[in-house]
Structure 1
């Protein structure tokens, strides 16, 4: 189960890299109508890094991994609200990760 959760967190983090790449025109993402400015692109990368830290903290059972998890979810959902038309399905993953976070905080 831990592998599935970690993979989900990591994949969500990888998806956020697409916003950074798009903002800085590093790679042309086919069929991506999103126009992302560089400041928003930096936030997409921040969310990605926070999700990777969240995944590492979850696997390694860091004491404060929940702080990074909370920040990752907040930044991610802020970006999703801003780019709702193209990123709305990320909300589902964020909700699942928030449930995981709450479960781990109160039951472990």
Structure 2
């Protein structure tokens, strides 16, 4: 049961990462996440092309989390490695999107903690 709940958390986290893609690409507008061309809490203006590149990083993280969720659902032996790599990558992307991405960074830290504890406690039925 814990495995399924964790896989759902990974899937939902991946879907939320899609917001970081659709806003910079102007595929959607969100009041909570306005379009901007700056990163690092507004310290660096990367322009239109740069923010689209950042959007692609968010998309890559979304794909990684969805792949990790699918791998965990189907008990693939590589799910933990993909989850760990994607989570570390996502933390880096969250720094670029700070402060809007601060809650995502907290979720990433929780995922890392869960990976550590679950691995030691054999919670995920490997």
How does the TM-score come out when normalised to structure 1? Answer: 0.88
The answer to which structure has the higher helix fraction is 1
Structure 1 residue aligned with 2:62:
48
Tell me how many residue pairs correspond in the alignment.
108
3-state SS, counterpart of residue 27 of structure 1: coil
Are the equivalent residues in 1 in contact too, given 2:94–2:102 (CA < 8 A)?
yes
For residues 1-108 of structure 1, what are the structure 2 equivalents within 5 Å? 1-35=2-36, 37-108=51-122
Unpaired stretches in structure 1, ≥5 consecutive residues: none
Structure 1 residues 3 and 105: alpha-carbon distance in aligned structure 2, compared to 1, 3 A threshold: closer
| Counterpart Cα distance in 1 of 2:30 and 2:62 | 17
2: distance between equivalents of 1:70 and 1:34? Answer: 29
User: Could you tell me whether the CA contact under 8 Å between 2:72 and 2:79 is conserved in 1?
Assistant: yes
Q: Does 1 or 2 have the higher relative contact order (CA < 8 Å, sep 6+)?
A: 2
TM-score, normalization: structure 2?
0.76
| 3-state SS in 1 of match to 2:20 | helix
Q: Which residue of 1 aligns with 2:41?
A: none
Structure 1, 6-15 or 25-34: larger mean CA deviation: 25-34
When the two chains are superposed, the root-mean-square deviation of aligned CA atoms in Å is: 1.6
